[in-house]
Structure 1
Amino acid sequence: MTNEQAQTAEEVLFYTGTYSTAKKPSIFLIAANKATGQMRVMNQMDGIDQPSFVALHPSGEKLYAVSEKAEGELFTYQVDASTKQLHLLDRKSTEGADPCYVSVDAAGRYVFVANYSSGSVNVFSLDDSGLPLEMSAKIQHVGEGFRKDRQEGPHAHSILPSADGNFVYVCDLGLDQLIVYRNEDGKLSTHYELKLPAGSGPRHLVIHPSEKFAYVVNELNSTVTAMTYNKNRGEFQITHHIPTRGENAQDENTGADIRVSPCGRFLYASNRGDDTISLFHINEETGELTAIEQVSTGGKTPRNFNLLAGGLLIAANQGTNNLVSFRIDRDTGKLSKTGFELELQSPVCIEPLN
């Protein structure tokens, strides 16, 4: 892993997972200037195929990456305290195909993986340092959805633990379901299954900072599903659906990523096809969404994006091999391009360090 100039006080850091190959750099540490949005590569790591999603341990000392291959793997890296360079510690089979999402519980006890093509999910127990010990659970989803071209079987697309770690939430694109599991010492048992509209293709879930509401971006019908959320019971109730696209959108499009601002007033969702990020205002009393605008991401196929400290949004345009930075207006949540972008091979996931 190469190392360049150290982080400055004006910069925030994030890791980027990509669809690059093991023979080339595929995980990057990027520094972004909070004032200008200018970005630069600080470190880069090779040796892993298609690390499409990465997640930091709560301590910041370990980085987990899934290798999205037919025989999926989970890689664990030590994060150097001073340089943030990555050092490979461990790699384990996910016993599933094409893992596309990885997350860690807030207590740092478990890592969770979603395997897209095989439609299965995993839990790995962690030791006190954050190193995976064993696979403590593997759940295979079964069934099919409405669309035979994309929902011929289960497709687990994301897996997210609740804040207290008692529940685990899985969006299955193939089944049109949000599946809620109980987490008991790393073992999963089905709590209940929430059915979403036929052919919607739920992809990613985000919990509102108040923990009163939750939102799912649906890939196949380009909508966001808004829900109330009972954190103690680990249950959701759908309130409404809202399109992620403008009224005049005509070409094919798929929804991708979803984020809520730390202040809880703004929700963002990305569109692949329109190649935009949609902004919604959130009613903080009811959780209701109001569509405000769609902004071009400055590239094609914005598979993921994320919000950084200092008021920046970084969009990862997989199709045009570039990261683009935006300034977020504090009062309105609207996005404006900083004028800076960074060339990067097939960027996918943005994971902030601070």
Structure 2
Amino acid sequence: MKEWNEQLFYTGTYAPRHERGIYVCALRVENGDLRIIGGVEGIERPSFLALHPDGTKLYAASETEEGELYAYQVHAQTGELHPLDRKGTEGAHTCYVSVTADGRYVLASNYSGGNAVVFPVTEAGGLGEMSGQVQHTGSGIRQDRQDAAHPHSIIPDPSGQYAMVCDLGLDQIVVYRLTEDGKLVTHREADLPPGSGPRHLVFHPSRPYAFVANELNNTVAVFSYNERNGELQLLQSLSTLPEGIIDVENTSADIRITPCGRYLYVSNRGHNSIVLYHVDLDSGKLETVEWVETSGSTPRNFNILSGYLVVANQDGNNIVSFAIHSEDGRLTRTGYVLEVPSPVCIEPVRQS
């Protein structure tokens, strides 16, 4: 049961189907303490989660060879999940799910399948028949990781007109026009340096910028974004690692920006850190500020909720909270750690 001073959130994991896969958790807003409230079984490897804009439905990607999406009804008071629907994604290893701002469509990307798909949301909150699908082909310079196309995320833009697919295998962000009837129409591409491996993208909350975490070359890229034309232009690229780090195998993972738009964070798996950048609101360019250890191994995902940054350490089997300083965005450990098997996604519950 949620208490008045707690922020609920969901945690996706790499659990097998017979074990609890999605956890309902709570963060105590006063001090960053964490606890488990409940959760659900019956979904295999729910590695990415997305809440519907109205807060009443949750969608989960099942990252398996037979990729699937699951839909759940959210209990308004407790955050408890009740299964609504499930659909195959016609692609292997569904690794990302998102929902358009108007709540009409659920988007997903299939890492090994090389495709991205669209499902309309039914009146009951379930998944209608697939309305759109696009297949990527090609490869990059890294034969160990870029032997084929690997769409790692699909993110609707703030206007709802376009969807951005970060393809790790192609070193491209492919921009699609999302039509009224839920189809993806190729619009343009934004190229990144060979071997970059774009993974996740986040838009600035109020300015015309987008930021991309590049998994393979451990960089963060800054783009200007023309919303009318759906056009990304590269402005800057910075390392996600401290200067001189050469003996650590690392891959950048998640990227988030604070609601004020002044602080951007990226996670490093291997270096096991969160890097903080200050955002210049006039130019969109970044200034590197600090690295903070995540108190666990392989910070695959994290999120920002109620003034805290909450990290899912996949191989550390824990979730850790950090207080965000409002004046400079720096992180301070709260000292609270929650033990959860293979946590890989943090998704806040909309508070009623």
Instruction: Establish whether TM, by shorter chain, passes 0.5.
Output: yes
Give the Cα separation in 2 of the matches to 1:336 and 1:22: 36
Partner AA of 2:134 in structure 1: I
Partner AA of 2:87 in structure 1: K
| 8 Å Cα contact 1:211/1:231 also seen in 2 | no
Q: Give the C-alpha shift of residue 164 in structure 1.
A: 2.2
Give the Cα separation in 1 of the matches to 2:257 and 2:124: 30
Give the Cα separation in 1 of the matches to 2:80 and 2:267: 30
* Corresponding position of 2:206: 210
| 8 Å Cα contact 1:136/1:186 also seen in 2 | yes
5+ residue gaps, structure 1, are 1-5
After TM superposition, which residue ranges in structure 1, 4 or more long, deviate above 3 angstroms? none
Give the Cα separation in 2 of the matches to 1:160 and 1:271: 21
* Corresponding position of 1:278: 275
Q: TM-score, normalised by structure 2?
A: 0.98
Percent of pairs identical after alignment? 53
Q: Does 1:328 align with 2:324?
A: yes
* Corresponding position of 1:158: 153
Secondary structure at 2:315's aligned position in 1? helix
* Corresponding position of 1:193: 189
* Corresponding position of 1:353: 349
Deviations 1:16-39 (A, max 9, x none): 100011111110011001111111
* Corresponding position of 1:243: 239
Q: Does 1:172 align with 2:167?
A: yes
* Corresponding position of 2:21: 26
Deviations 1:249-292 (A, max 9, x none): 12111000001111111100000000000000000100010001
| 8 Å Cα contact 1:109/1:130 also seen in 2 | no
Number of residue pairs matched? 348
Q: Give the C-alpha shift of residue 231 in structure 1.
A: 1.4
Secondary structure at 1:20's aligned position in 2? coil
* Corresponding position of 2:310: 314
| 8 Å Cα contact 1:273/1:301 also seen in 2 | yes
Give the Cα separation in 2 of the matches to 1:302 and 1:183: 32
Q: TM-score, normalised by structure 1?
A: 0.97
Backbone CA RMSD of aligned residues = 0.8
Deviations 1:86-137 (A, max 9, x none): 1111111001000000000011100000000111100001123322111001
Partner AA of 2:164 in structure 1: Y
| 8 Å Cα contact 1:102/1:159 also seen in 2 | yes
Secondary structure at 2:130's aligned position in 1? strand
Indicate how the Cα distance of structure 1 residues 91 and 7 shifts in structure 2: closer, same or farther if over 3 A, else same. Answer: same
Give the Cα separation in 1 of the matches to 2:86 and 2:257: 32
Secondary structure at 1:133's aligned position in 2? coil
Give the Cα separation in 2 of the matches to 1:10 and 1:221: 41
* Corresponding position of 1:221: 217
* Corresponding position of 1:128: 123
